[in-house]
A and B are shown apart, each in its own frame.
Chain A
């Protein structure tokens, strides 16, 4: 596989804020269809990395490619969202007063102008898509429930569902299980695993149990660069990682 067959390729990305290097010549790649976990202590640069990929922050140096030939550094944030990179933020923001179904409906791909949305009726294909996503995220029974009645975990799934409506190629998921019950965590790992393959998923997390349950490949970030990479066992026994996490 040539380098450019990766779905995401970052090379030597450096981002500094006022002299502080958030990302320090960071290089990593994501294979198509894989489920990659990125871990690291706070301040390691995980969120900044996602900011660079989604176009929220421009790096001082380095390159970022999406697929074979899309230079992410040349696109704006909305453009990047359009080409198939979806990001789920830590805090779930679903529309509280709208039902689960309506939330997903709003996330449907399609013309966003006022006139078109006013005249829009739901085509059978679109309806089916919503049903599919409801199935995937496991909220079929809650389709008519208003957003505000959902539990924290359900809101997170709904948000992932809304991302899925836009049929992204790459999903960036930021700390999905923070604040979830153990059952919810289990369902979330099932969900994310099911998404891999058809989509490429990058998950940033702190919860080691959860990471172990979903990750094939793990990358450890520290002070803006990759310090270890491999499967969970390899990474957990890596001396540099132990040092960084336990200060030994």
Chain B
């Protein structure tokens, strides 16, 4: 009698085997990319048709950062029912932290040649570095800030919001308001974050030239590693008992509270964790793209992330990653070939997916498999 019970245990305690298989598949794809990309960039000569240009490297890296961001959103939305319409804010906060480090690294090589002050500060006639820039010339400090700042903002915001039992659409609206407020703040020239130009013209990171292909490859590999690590971390949460509690909260919050679970605490934990992942994604995004500006905080960016998750399939983690890649690939294609069409396409995607594909593309595939 023990054996059949164990297989039930496997299924109910460790997630369905379908999910486990898909997860393994996802990690294999990542591994494949991690191996193939360096080869086709470094070892294949630039003249060959198979060479992956720097542009392609940047694109792949960008997609992977977005995949991380999408997973962060899926963790709280797909599994806990918290729809955040402001997650791009956490992404950007991490990005700005990295940006500050990179700006300090420019040193005397900037346009104005000031060894301490970044160009935009010289331009604004500032005499000294504002206090919150101290420490950003050390990578360790910046790395800590990339994690800490999004975490703190999420902690404070989430604590206030969850504690007062703000849920559903109300919560989504105020996350949107939060990212909007941050956007307004970062656009101001006197905030000390580069104003509407943001940060750009980065030179190197930890001594490695950001424009060299080799550095790009390494960054891309790091991103792939971060993506894999976040995936595994999210899986760990989702498949633990805590993950089941999260799903219980998603489906019947008051019942879960009635069972004695500190619902607000659970929400806060995953919200902060998700913000940290988003922050890391943002921090990896900036050196690859080469620029960060306050437009990244724009509410529409956060809403786009949600559509990536919805298209891919929420509540599946790898689906979110797939959705991010798919939609952004479409965006890259459309904004290049038919720019006016892109917004129509995006808008229609929102409508189509919510009306006809509530479980995303992955859901569609899954039901096809089940039907067979």
Contacts and interface: CB of A to CB of B under 8 A. Distances in A.
B254 to A, nearest CB: 8
Given A105-B244, A120-B240, A143-B8, A113 B259 contact: no
Interface stretch (B24-32, B68-76, B262-270, B283-291): B262-270
A17 to B, nearest CB: 22
B241 A105 contact: yes
Most buried by A among B5, B9, B248, B256: B248
A162 interface: yes
Contacts of A98: 244, 247-248, 251
Given A106-B248, A117-B242, A81 B260 contact: yes
B13 interface: yes
A95 B12 contact: no
A42 interface: no
A213 interface: no
Interface residues of B, number: 28
B247 A97 contact: yes
A20 interface: no
Interface string A96-107: 111101100111
Interface string B3-33: 0010011011100000000000000000000
Contacts of A96: 251-252
A114 B242 contact: yes
A212 B156 CA distance: 57
Given A95-B247, A95-B252, A114-B269, A119 B12 contact: no
Interface string A105-134: 111000011100111101000010001000
B244 A143 contact: no
B74 to A, nearest CB: 15
A196 B139 CA distance: 66
Interface residues of A, number: 27
Given A113-B265, A117-B245, A106 B240 contact: no
Interface string A54-98: 000000000000000000000000100110000000000101111
Nearest to A147: B251
A6 B12 CA distance: 41
A144 interface: yes
Nearest to A120: B241
Contacts of A101: 8-9, 12-13
Contact of A117 (B9, B241, B251): B241
A78 B265 CA distance: 16
B255 interface: yes
A149 B39 CA distance: 50
Interface in B213-261: 236-237, 240-242, 244-245, 247-248, 250-252, 255-256, 258-261
Interface of B: 5, 8-9, 11-13, 236-237, 240-242, 244-245, 247-248, 250-252, 255-256, 258-262, 265-266, 269
